[in-house]
């Protein structure tokens, strides 16, 4: 952990960080609605390839209390936007950034990565914005609060019940990010935060902060987000935590030691401030026992990719590679052949396949960690020395280069460091295992990881292995010949899937679709009468008041319809002819409908109508056949057949307007419309519910 405060200008610390007074470009922060440039306490960032100073960073003098207040006063406007308005703004931001991506690629050069590596950060980050925007537009209604479940009855006569709702926390989310993904690291966190209606303060790692800052600059210029909903602190956060309160959230990505120190801030304990941490993770890859040639090659490909992509500086990178003892020599040989072909050097050269680490500090750090790993394992390729390898197109002494380094640990059960220490560079350790029980125990020695890959023969059953290792991971990637071409790979966190892991990995959870959005919202159980739950959730709840009109609801436009508007249909008696005709029409001759003798021995004791007939007959009762504003029926949710309908029973339908969601008009040629959800209840002559479901229709607007 770096102690940044109290450093004198031009002083170098033990890890090579220089606190400089050089006349360099200073990176301003964006806070309190303006760009702020500090005057002192600078830290210099050096070009990862050439070692030249590039810019300096400081937030000295920034009033952190004002930053927090600005977010809460101005930025909180985003909470008044609906989910769809937030999602649309995010999509516009993503489009705006995509059009300017080359600027970010240019800046990425100073961080030592190849264009392919930078793609993960830049376009992977922008893609996460697009994906989140679309998840929210698809899965949430156009409201400011999220109703989580349907009516939970709490009384005998249905006048008292509950629903859980989620509302935007009335605070700010502070995101402290690591150096390895300056753009994706910010965007993957601000997307769910802003969608939840919560303003953010982002503090990027000093290394790479120029890229984060460029993105924030464009987001601010774009004007798509409310002022104050995104602030940026380039430099230290000083006393910012002292101003956080009970509605605030902090996320952290970086080293476990920093994370643990920050998490111990007394304010977090005092106000139960949610602190999500993602830290050093000693992730695994496993080759299963009956691996064939193809499986071995897949395994080697994956380990190789994770060692070299982003110069091994990915939080998900494979640090421990477990192989059956009998295959150790084969895997080692194949991996070395591939790793020897890696061309390390200036990533601007076309033949270079692996660039530099992010900084000289990282180079020292990786070397120190490899020295520790070397106490348990033999180095079979690469080095813990820093200069004895070839670097293309630049001076290896000045840049933050490190060779691909493979270790082999023959006695992993006795190892002290292999399962604990993460060398955050192109470094991985191969180790043998005897059987699946020992393997699961070895994996668990990592004390919790973000991800593991299991590479198996397509038909091998690995259910027990998964059951044993799943509790130690946030994600498991199972690779085999069937999915090899399409797999997104071990190292890619995806917006739809959970990213995080237990124990050493920090205990946090990011991404995972709506799960991440909910992290920034407060869940509240609302108890009350059906009427109040309908009012609060903007969705009709059974037992609430309803309205009847002489005009059929299918004759009304989206805007005319009111939530709670109901149609009680005519009745229909179900006859044997109905059942026989439906059986013939559909081809469904199931004995419970068509076989008198079989049906007598059945659960129902006599023939009953097809459930699908009841749904069809219900439509026949509630539909208004003439052309009108209803464009189409596009789905049905939550269908339950509650009671059987027997020959001679009489059914009737209650159709109630439950929820309305306007749809954005993508095509000007298209008529404006919205989705109307109708609550359908089919009852029999004893007023018993026989079927219940929701239907979804597209209805024209005025
Ligand atoms: P770090 O030193 O823990 O820094 C992480 C973040 O915390 C940076 O933004 C850093 O800002 C900030 N920070 C440091 N001290 C702070 C303090 N006292 N108060 C508030 N913020 C503070 O980690 P790193 O140097 O970026 O990476 C070190 C190691 O972390 C790596 O070698 C790797 O093992 C691990 N790592 C893990 C992941 C993961 O996702 N699992 C990702 C990246 C790194 P400054 O940069 O301004 O100091």
What are the tens digits of pLDDT across the range 29-82? 999 999 999 988 899 999 999 989 999 999 999 999 999 999 999 999 999 999
Please state, rounded to an integer, the average pLDDT across all residues of the chain. Answer: 92
Dist CA 511 CA 490 (whole Å): 16
Provide the pLDDT for residue 6: 31
- In order of their start, the domains of the chain are 62-277 (3.40.605.10), 283-504 (3.40.309.10), 546-700 (3.10.129.10)
Q: What percentage of the chain carries pLDDT values higher than 70?
A: 96
Q: Is 256 in the pocket of ligand 1 (CB under 6 A)?
A: no
pLDDT at 201 over 70: yes
What are the tens digits of pLDDT across the range 575-601? 999 999 999 999 999 999 999 999 999
Provide the pLDDT for residue 11: 47
CA of 359 to the centre of ligand 1 (A): 13
* Known catalytic residue at 302: no
* Known catalytic residue at 278: yes
Average confidence (pLDDT) over 631-635: 93
What are the tens digits of pLDDT across the range 466-492? 999 999 999 999 999 889 999 999 998
pTM assigned to the model: 0.89
For atom 2 of ligand 1, the residue with the nearest CA is: 1
pLDDT at 21 over 70: no
Q: Which residue has the higher pLDDT, 13 or 458?
A: 458
CA of 576 to the centre of ligand 1 (A): 73
Q: Is 401 in the pocket of ligand 1 (CB under 6 A)?
A: no
Paired tokens of 17: 């960080």
Dist CA 304 CA 281 (whole Å): 18
Q: How far are the Cα atoms of 342, 360, 544 from residue 396, in angstroms, in the given order?
A: 15, 11, 74
Q: Is 253 in the pocket of ligand 1 (CB under 6 A)?
A: yes
Catalytic residue, candidates 113, 200, 234, 315: 315
Q: Is 206 in the pocket of ligand 1 (CB under 6 A)?
A: yes
What is the band of 385 on the pLDDT scale with cuts at 50, 70, 90?
low
C-beta of residue 77 within 8 angstroms of C-beta of residue 229:
yes
Dist CA 208 CA 107 (whole Å): 9
pLDDT at 664 over 90: no
Q: Which residues of 585-601 are buried (b: 16+ CB within 10 A; e: fewer)?
A: eeeeeeebbbeeeebee
Identify the weakest region by mean pLDDT among 102-111, 342-351, 436-445, 577-586. 342-351
Helix (H, G, I), strand (E, B) or coil at 182: coil
Q: Is 420 in the pocket of ligand 1 (CB under 6 A)?
A: no
Provide the pLDDT for residue 3: 30
Torsion, Cα of 91, 96, 99, 103 (10° steps): -120
A 10 A CB-CB count for 650 gives 13
Q: What percentage of the chain carries pLDDT values higher than 90?
A: 83
The DSSP call for residue 373 is H
For atom 16 of ligand 1, the residue with the nearest CA is: 258
Dist CA 517 CA 359 (whole Å): 33
pLDDT at 351 over 70: yes
What is the band of 387 on the pLDDT scale with cuts at 50, 70, 90?
low
Q: Is 422 in the pocket of ligand 1 (CB under 6 A)?
A: yes
């Amino acid at each position: 952990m770096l102690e940044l405060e109290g450093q004198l200008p031009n002083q170098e610390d033990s890890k090579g960080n220089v606190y400089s007074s050089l006349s360099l470009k200073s990176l301003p922060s964006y806070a309190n609605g303006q760009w702020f440039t500090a005057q002192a306490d600078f830290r210099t960032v050096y070009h990862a390839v050439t070692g030249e100073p590039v810019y300096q960073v400081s937030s000295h003098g920034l009033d952190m209390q004002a930053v927090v207040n600005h977010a809460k006063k101005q930025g909180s406007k985003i909470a008044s936007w609906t989910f769809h308005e937030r999602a649309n703004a995010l999509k516009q931001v993503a489009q705006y950034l995509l059009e300017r991506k080359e600027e970010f690629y240019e800046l990425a050069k100073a961080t030592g990565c190849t264009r392919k590596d930078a793609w993960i950060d830049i376009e992977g980050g922008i893609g996460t914005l697009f994906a989140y925007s679309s998840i929210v537009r698809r899965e949430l209604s156009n409201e400011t609060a999220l109703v989580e479940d349907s009516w939970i009855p709490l009384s005998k006569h249905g006048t008292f019940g509950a629903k859980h709702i989620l509302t935007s926390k009335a605070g700010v989310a502070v995101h402290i990010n690591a150096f390895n993904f300056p753009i994706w690291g910010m965007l993957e966190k601000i997307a769910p935060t802003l969608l939840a209606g919560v303003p953010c303060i982002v503090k990027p790692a000093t290394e790479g902060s120029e890229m984060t800052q460029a993105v924030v600059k464009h987001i601010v210029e774009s004007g798509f987000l409310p002022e104050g909903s995104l602030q940026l602190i380039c430099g230290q956060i000083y006393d910012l935590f002292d101003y956080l309160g009970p509605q605030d959230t902090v996320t952290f990505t970086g080293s476990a030691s920093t994370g643990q120190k920050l998490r111990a801030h007394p304010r977090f304990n005092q106000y139960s401030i949610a602190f999500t941490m993602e830290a050093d993770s000693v992730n695994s890859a496993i080759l299963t026992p009956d691996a064939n040639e193809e499986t071995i090659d897949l395994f080697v490909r994956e380990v190789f990719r994770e060692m070299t992509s982003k110069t091994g500086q990915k939080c998900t990178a494979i640090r421990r590679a477990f192989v059956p003892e009998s295959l150790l020599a084969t895997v080692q040989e194949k991996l070395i052949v591939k790793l020897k072909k890696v061309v390390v050097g200036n990533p601007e050269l076309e033949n270079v396949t692996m660039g530099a680490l992010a900084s000289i500090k990282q180079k020292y750090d990786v070397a120190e960690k490899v020295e520790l790993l070397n106490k348990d394992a033999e180095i079979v390729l690469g080095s813990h020395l820093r200069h004895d390898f070839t670097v293309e197109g630049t001076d290896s002494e000045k840049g933050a280069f490190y060779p691909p380094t493979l270790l082999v640990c023959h006695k992993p059960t006795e190892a002290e460091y292999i399962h604990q220490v993460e060398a955050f560079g192109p470094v991985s350790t191969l180790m043998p295992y005897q059987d699946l029980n020992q393997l699961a125990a070895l994996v668990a020695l990592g004390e919790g990881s973000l991800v593991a890959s299991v590479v198996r023969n397509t038909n091998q059953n690995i259910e027990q292995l998964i059951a044993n290792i799943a509790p130690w991971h946030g994600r498991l990637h199972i690779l085999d010949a069937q999915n090899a071409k399409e797999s997104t790979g071990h190292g890619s966190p995806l917006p739809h899937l959970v990213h995080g892991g237990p124990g050493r990995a920090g205990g946090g959870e990011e991404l995972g679709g709506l799960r991440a959005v909910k992290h920034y919202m407060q869940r509240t159980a609302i108890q009350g009468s059906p009427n109040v739950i309908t009012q609060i959730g903007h969705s009709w709840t059974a037992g609430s008041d309803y309205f009847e009109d002489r005009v059929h609801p299918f004759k009304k436009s989206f805007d005319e319809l009111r939530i709670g508007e109901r149609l009680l249909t005519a009745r229909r008696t179900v006859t044997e002819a109905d059942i026989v005709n439906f059986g013939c029409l559909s081809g469904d001759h199931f004995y419970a409908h068509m076989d008198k003798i079989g049906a007598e021995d059945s659960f129902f004791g006599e023939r009953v109508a097809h459930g699908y007939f009841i749904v069809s007959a219900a439509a026949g009762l509630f539909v208004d056949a003439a052309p009108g504003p209803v464009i189409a029926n596009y789905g049905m949710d939550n269908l339950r057949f509650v009671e059987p309908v027997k020959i001679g029973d009489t059914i009737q339908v209650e159709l109630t307007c439950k929820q309305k969601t306007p749809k954005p008009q993508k095509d000007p040629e298209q008529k404006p419309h919205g989705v109307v959800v109708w609550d359908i209840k089919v009852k029999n002559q004893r007023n018993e519910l026989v079927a219940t479901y929701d239907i979804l229709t597209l209805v024209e607007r005025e």
